Amino acid sequence: MIVLGLSGALQHDPSAALVIDGETVAAAEEERFVRDKHAKKRTPKEATKYCLDAAGVKPSEIDYVAFPYAHIPLSSPARWHYARRYWYAPDRALDALFNGNRRFRAHKKSVHELGVELGIDWNRTEFIPVEHHLAHASSAYHLSGFDSKCAILGVDGKGEYATTFFGYGDHGEIHKIKEFYDPDSLGGVYGAVTEYLGFEMLDGEYKVMGMAPYGDPARYDLSDLIEIEDGEIRVDTQLVNTVGLRRHKDEGQSFFFSTKLIDKLGPRRRDDAADEPYIHYAASMQHLFEERVLSLVDTHLGDVLAETGKLAFAGGGALNVKLNQRLLNRADIDTLFVQPASGDSGTALGAATYVAHARGDRIAPMTHVYLGPSFTAKECKAAIDAAGDAVSVQALTDTVAATADILAAGHPVAWFQGRMEFGPRALGSRSILGCPNAKGIADRINEQIKFRERWRPFCPSMLDRVAAEILGTDHPAPFMTITFDVAQAWRDRIPEVVHEDGTARAQVVSKDAHPRYYALLEAMEKRTGNGVLLNTSLNRRGEPMVCSPVDALRMFLGSDLQYLVLEDWLVTKAS
């Protein structure tokens, strides 16, 4: 059975994923191909073409197209809740009641048109919509590898109407326990404060998380933004998650918060260098988000966790690695699986796995994210040749040893190897690497290569056999989705990948998942004594992660990087 999952229902992060007989064979974000971060208001055309080509599947052979956005009936409490809470914007409230599925109809039409353009035979291929949060839930539960019952958590901005999902999985079936509906959204509030702090919503939330350790959460109380009573949340829409005339407007831009929030907190942050009081607002928002999620988990998932000890987590909120650390530290959670593509791009995979399971396939666990395109040595050399006199090139006979020598000498290296990662994290295929005990290398990469805020942290990739010593646990961490407290003895050994609060968002690398990257870590261990590398995504600020050799060379020539290892070619700048 061949199932194609497509995402992009919320006008951002379109992607495609192909599941054949329960096995995920290809998945990729549209932004990587069109070079437009988040690929807003686009369909996943190029990503779909890649997935089909990679698997050798013709469009006419697809059995099902799964889409993570569904019809919500008027009998559902979702539309009534939305209308009641948005009473101050009558056009929104009435539209929810009388035309509440117009977006679903528009999405269904656009997917049908895309299918016709690609050659999908709609007389043979069935279009199956999946509720947005069920797609998130499936992306976590069905790919977790959990054989027995487990709790499922979904936190994001919103889907059709739902914003937060609590449920459990048992024998392959997903059961809902509780949902919250727009505007009562934990992720929405975090996004609104992200905008207030000068970042773009749906893109800058991880920047707020990175800023938070520099502030004091007790300096400012933001608890009135999200109140909890009897296990229900209520967002103060006088301040955040606003629509219509309540939204704050500045220089032609409309924000997801009101002018009353400006009155409460002061002017919106505008300058990258501005610290006070915004670092404290970031700390307070992060603390509030963690506390509210943990409280709701107690209420709605406490019994399931006490029984199972397992949690599968997805949605944009699952990319909050500090929250994930606190979840894992709970006494009732032994194992935490966080979908590495937790955001909306991952709903393509979630919709596909949901449909594949429902039609009888057994879903294979997700053991790696190397699901994107790879390029031959010939293709890489053609791209290098096209760069002309701007670069010099050398064929490497021992790529791992040559790269390790450059890294051990204190130089950053752009590392382009194998299939591209699916999801927002670079995990050793499209990475910028550095030696984590080379003093100042993090600042250098931030300022001269990534062109991003100075306080943004970098993450370590580490050998699986040394991870427990560094992180104090042998809990799986293959996808950089959880932070851990770094052992004191290691903080001085790898200071460039330890954040302000003594934590690190770690990737524990196994030989099976990425043999060449594992070999590079072993080579670094021989040279430095540490089987650890600083790892960040191969892109510049505001750009998607690179996909092709052409993308890598363009990024390389547009930064202060001096070394690019493109498969088995070492590229340097001619000057």
pLDDT digit string, tens, across residues 156-165 = 999 999 999 9
Q: Which helix (H) or strand (E) holds 34?
A: helix 30-34
Mean pLDDT, to the nearest integer, of 52-68?
98
| CATH number among 2.50.20.10, 3.30.70.260, 3.40.190.10, 3.30.420.40, domain 2-143+339-358 | 3.30.420.40
* Active-site annotation holds for 12: yes
Residue 455 — pLDDT band, cuts 50, 70, 90?
low
Show the beta-strand stretches assigned E in 195-244. Answer: 226-229, 232-235
User: Which tokens hold the place of 349?
Assistant: 């995979």
If phi over 0 gives left and psi between -120 and 50 gives alpha, with beta otherwise, what is residue 21? left
List C-alpha distances in Å: 414 to 135, 385, 457, 504: 34, 18, 18, 21
Average pLDDT over residues 456-469: 95
Residues 504-559 pLDDT 10s: 999 999 999 999 999 999 999 999 999 999 999 999 988 999 999 999 999 999 99
Asked whether the predicted pLDDT for residue 451 surpasses 90, the reply is no
The partner residues of 244 in beta bridges, in order of sequence, read: none
Which pLDDT band holds residue 449 (cuts at 50, 70, 90)?
A: confident
CB-CB contact of 534 with 427 (8 Å): no
Burial of 100 (0-12, 13-18, 19+ CB in 10 A): buried
Active-site entry in 12, 107, 133, 357: 12
Which of 201-205, 224-228, 398-402, 569-573 has the lowest average pLDDT? 201-205
- Tell me what the pLDDT averaged over the chain comes to: 96
Three-class DSSP category at 139: helix
pLDDT score of 152 more than 90: yes
Domain boundaries, the chain: 2-143+339-358, 186-337, 377-573
Digit-coded pLDDT (tens) for 83-99 = 999 999 999 999 999 99
Nearest to 371 by CA among 354, 348, 355: 348
Residue 266 CA: distances (Å) to CA of 223, 251, 572? 17, 17, 48
Q: Is the pLDDT of residue 269 over 80?
A: yes
Residue corresponding to tokens 């059709």: 160
Q: Which of 574, 561, 517, 572 is nearest to 394 (CA)?
A: 572
Q: What is the DSSP letter of 487?
A: P
What single-letter amino acid sits at 84? R
pLDDT tens profile 163-191: 999 999 999 999 999 999 999 999 999 99
Phi, psi (deg, nearest 5) at residue 50? -60, -50
Q: How confident is the model at residue 266 (pLDDT cuts 50, 70, 90)?
A: very high
Q: Do domains 2-143+339-358 and 377-573 have the same CATH topology?
A: no
**Is residue 277 reached through a cis peptide bond, with omega within 30 degrees of 0 on the bond before it?**
yes
Identify the architecture of domain 186-337 in CATH. 2-Layer Sandwich (3.30)
CA angle at 480 for the pair 476 and 482, rounded to the nearest 5°: 70
Task: Report pLDDT for 457.
Answer: 84
What pLDDT, on the 0 to 100 scale, is given for residue 454? 67
- Section 29-42 average pLDDT: 96
Q: Distance from CA of residue 334 to its chain's centroid?
A: 23
Q: How far apart are CA 74 and CA 100, in angstroms?
A: 8
Q: Which residue has the higher pLDDT, 373 or 574?
A: 373
Percent of the chain with pLDDT over 90: 94
Q: Is it the case that residue 274 has pLDDT exceeding 80?
A: no
Instruction: Name the band, by pLDDT with cuts 50, 70 and 90, for residue 10.
Output: confident
Q: 102: part of which helix (H) or strand (E)?
A: helix 102-118
What's the whole-number mean pLDDT along residues 48-63?
Answer: 98
| pLDDT tens by residue, 116-126 | 999 999 999 99
Q: What is the pLDDT of residues 214-253, one digit of tens each?
A: 999 999 999 999 999 999 999 999 999 999 999 999 988 9
The 10 Å Cβ neighbour count of residue 553 is 23
- Comparison of pLDDT for 430 and 500, the residue scoring more: 430
Q: Is 255 helix (H, G, I), strand (E, B) or coil?
A: strand
Q: 321-328 and 278-308 are packed helices; what angle lies between their axes, rounded to 10 degrees?
A: 40
What are the tens digits of pLDDT across the range 535-547? 999 999 889 999 9
pLDDT band at 272 (very low <50, low <70, confident <90, very high): confident
* Token code pair at residue 160: 């059709």
Task: Specify the CATH number for 377-573; select among 3.90.870.20, 3.20.10.10, 2.30.42.10, 3.80.10.10.
Answer: 3.90.870.20
Question: Which burial class, exposed, middle or buried, applies to 257 when counting CB atoms under 10 A from its CB (0-12, 13-18, 19+)?
Answer: buried
**Which pLDDT band holds residue 273 (cuts at 50, 70, 90)?**
low
| CA-to-CA separations, 35 to 110, 118, 446, 554, in angstroms, rounded | 21, 21, 21, 12
Query: What radius of gyration, in Å, describes the C-alpha atoms of the chain?
Result: 23
pLDDT in tens, 300-340: 999 999 999 999 999 999 999 999 999 999 999 999 999 99
pLDDT for 128: 98
Q: Is the pLDDT of residue 461 over 70?
A: yes
The pLDDT assigned to 305 comes to: 98
